Amino acid sequence: MLQSIDHPQVRVLVDIGHFHSSGVDSSGIIERFSKRIGLVHTKDQIGKQSVPFGSGEIDNARLMAQLTELGYGGFLVVEIEVEDVENIERYLREGREYLQKLI
């Protein structure tokens, strides 16, 4: 589809959490669509369960390094889905601190 729509406003959303849940290689998507990435949406997970950044299976450090190497300079959206909502502010703060070290 992207090959047939050559317009600068048609971009790719790299949703790392959804790719992980679906068994899709985020690194391969980033490589393949590096010039068309419009937004990166990340989280950390074990299986399909969201966990605090740095405690899951997603190698955000490698993916952020790859995005930097490919020249991505856009927004990074942080997603945290938790069952213990009383801790959401702490998880968001820790996630921000974790990702800031990577970018």
For the chain, the structural domain boundaries read 12-102
Nearest to 53 by CA among 76, 70, 33, 37: 76
CATH number of 12-102: 3.20.20.150
Amino acid at 59: D
* Number of other residues whose CB lies within 10 A of the CB of residue 60: 21
Confidence check: pLDDT of 1 > 70: no
d(CA 88, CA 52): 10
Q: Give the model confidence (pLDDT) of 76-86 as tens digits.
A: 988 888 778 88
Confidence check: pLDDT of 24 > 90: yes
Question: Quick check: 40 and 76 in contact, CB under 8 A?
Answer: yes
Q: At what angle do helices 60-69 and 88-102 cross, to 10 degrees?
A: 40
Confidence check: pLDDT of 90 > 70: yes
